[in-house]
Amino acid sequence: MAETDKRKRIIRAAEQLFHARQFHEITLDEVARRADVGKGTIYLYFSDKHDLFYQTAMAGFEEMCGVIRENASRRLSFREELARATRGVSDFFRLRRPIFHMIRAELKGPGAGVHRGAMLQRRRQLTQLLAAIIGRGKAVGEVRSALPLLVLAEYLLGMLRARALEMGGCAGPGTAGRGKGRGADPGVVEFFLHGAAGRHGATARHGTAAGARVTRRTRNAIGTRKK
């Protein structure tokens, strides 16, 4: 227990520090100080500075995938499942943003050679989790795009990433969605499903009516298209 305790303290410290600075700008002295452990202690649990950040990233990532999987096990409607997964990812992007910077950074440097594979695999894991959900949407006819599921999943992730990181988590009016409030709003899901040509957003409600209207207008729009 004591060991695990220190290990966790170190990981938490690393993650916290990663909020404000980058891998190379963080010293292990700082990590040790913030974790309130001796400098050498870090090397009892991690082989390396890289290893520390790698494991920190992995831990967070795994946690996020866990959240999504958890929801997948319950029998929810496609929409609901997609919304929850979306919210889960979004929360992670926002609250544990450093982890994703770590992952991105880790995938670059050559020092990541050892970890690179594992990291890519994890990322693919996430994509596949989302792809599976979208696949269900296809099965029930709510997703009709002929694009590969993985591509759709990547697009969704890209949007979530944009929402959480570029926009600082505020998607403008209409974000608040409904009750829960803390996570991703339905806007993303709606947009993901019906695109910019669909009518949704500030006034977004989901439901058959809205969906229907979207498509009708869409047809018109296409009709108007020149080239």
Partner DNA sequence: CATGAATGAGGATTCATTCAT
Partner DNA sequence: TATGAATGAATCCTCATTCAT
Q: How far is the CB of 129 from DNA (least distance, A)?
A: 33
Of its own copies, DNA, none, which one does residue 57 interact with (CB within 5 to 8 Å by kind)?
Answer: none
For residues 17 and 207, give the distance between their C-alpha atoms in angstroms, rounded to a whole number. Answer: 43
> 159 and 153 in contact (C-beta within 8 Å)?
no
Site string for DNA, 7-46 (x = CB under 7 A): -----------------xxxxxx--x----xxxxx-xx--
- Amino acid code (one letter) for 172: G
Of its own copies, DNA, none, which one does residue 157 interact with (CB within 5 to 8 Å by kind)?
Answer: its own copies
Where helices occur in 78-148 by DSSP H, the ranges are 78-95, 97-106, 113-139
Find all residues with CB under 8 Å of 54, minimum gap 6, and list them: 102, 106, 112, 115, 118, 119
| Residue among 49 and 84 whose Cβ is closer to DNA | 49
Answer for which of 11, 49, 92, 99 binds DNA (CB under 7 A) is: 49
For residues 160 and 156, give the distance between their C-alpha atoms in angstroms, rounded to a whole number. Answer: 6
Asked whether position 145 contacts DNA by CB under 7 A, the answer is no
Which residue ranges make up the site for DNA (CB under 7 A)?
A: 2-3, 6, 24-29, 32, 37-41, 43-44, 48-50
